[in-house]
Amino acid sequence: MLYLILAVFCNCLQAVAVRYSEKNLHNRFAVTMCNYFIAALLCFLMLGSLTTADIKSGWQLSIGLGFGNGVIFIMWLLLFQFSVSRNGAALPVTFTKLGILIPTLGSIIFFSEQPDLPHIVGIVLAPLAVVLFNLPRRGQGGQKRISRFDPWLLLVLLAGGVGDFNMKIFETFGDPGLDNFFLLIIFITAFLLSIGVWLAKGGGINRRDLLFGALIGIPNQLAAFFLLQSLMHLPAYVVFPVYSVGVILLISMLGLLLFGERLTRRQYLSMGLICLALICLNI
């Protein structure tokens, strides 16, 4: 459980860094590129004494899944931004969080993980709390009216969920000694692809972009590392729901303390459901 708590904490640090960068960045795509570069560099440094002989035994799966996840990272970013332009921010954020359903249900169906009744209650409450927390209030400013369901939202959900499920696949079939190598391939792939996106959007970079890229990249890599470690010690039907709602809970508290953000009544109700889900998932 310690690894999962650390993953939640690092993800929240990443979110805080992103929040601070919103008012200070020069080029969002430059920050993304620097974020992946720093994350890849940190993975490389964490390889330690790993040799080419160590990598030979399981490199195919590590490179294959790592490359796939790196592509998914960039696909999700582009899909998310496109969906925000069509639907406003709330729905894409909600569907991103609901991506936990894919690795959670996938681990039960394909890897025979068997949750008991309290865990099932927690699994049901977690996505319900996510929806309740993220949906905007009626008439809230900055949100676009949606006349019909946008299928792009499902692609946002799938991109995030499949990326997480790949982590479970690696944990099941991959070599535990190659976890940092696996993450290195993910972030190198995402970095190289993000260069193309950055150039396509006009390029441009300054020191603030580099700074915030580093501030986001370090907790980004650590969150991925601790999440992978969590999957090696806990079932996925516990890890992903706790990770998702735990991040919401902690970010909400940090938002209140650091940014003076106020929660709505519906969000307070969501927080209660989150606490109940966390209790059920940890019984």
pLDDT (0 to 100) of residue 136: 64
Residues 212-239 have pLDDT tens digits of 999 999 999 999 999 999 999 999 999 9
Residues 63-82 have pLDDT tens digits of 999 999 999 999 998 888 88
Alpha carbon distance 18, 1 (integer Å):
26
Q: Distance between alpha carbon 92 and the CA centroid of its chain, in Å? A: 13
Position 258 confidence tier, pLDDT thresholds 50, 70, 90: confident
Structural Rg of the chain based on CA atoms: 19
Q: How far apart are the first and last CA of the chain?
A: 12
pLDDT (0 to 100) of residue 16: 84
When mean pLDDT is compared across 92-106, 150-164, 252-266, the lowest value belongs to 252-266
Query: Domain locations in the chain?
Result: 2-281
Residues 172-187 have pLDDT tens digits of 998 888 899 999 999 9
Q: Taking all residues of the chain, what is their mean pLDDT, rounded to a whole number?
A: 86
CA atoms within 13 A on the CB side of 111: 20
Alpha carbon distance 54, 43 (integer Å):
16
pLDDT greater than 90 at residue 168: yes
- 81: which 2 tokens? 């931004």
> Looking at this protein, which amino acid is placed at residue 11?
N
Is 150 or 125 the better-scoring residue by pLDDT?
125
Query: In degrees, to the nearest 5, what angle opens at C-alpha 74 toward C-alphas 140 and 192?
Result: 145
Buried b (16+ CB within 10 A) or exposed e, 90-122: bbbbbbbbbbbbbbbbbbbeeeebebeeebebb
Residues 96-129 have pLDDT tens digits of 888 889 999 999 999 989 999 999 999 999 889 8
Alpha carbon distance 157, 166 (integer Å):
14
Write the DSSP symbol of residue 264: P
CA atoms within 13 A on the CB side of 243: 30
pLDDT (0 to 100) of residue 182: 93
pLDDT (0 to 100) of residue 141: 46
pLDDT greater than 70 at residue 139: no
What angle do helix axes 236-259 and 265-281 make, rounded to 10 degrees?
140
Tokens 């969150």 correspond to: 223
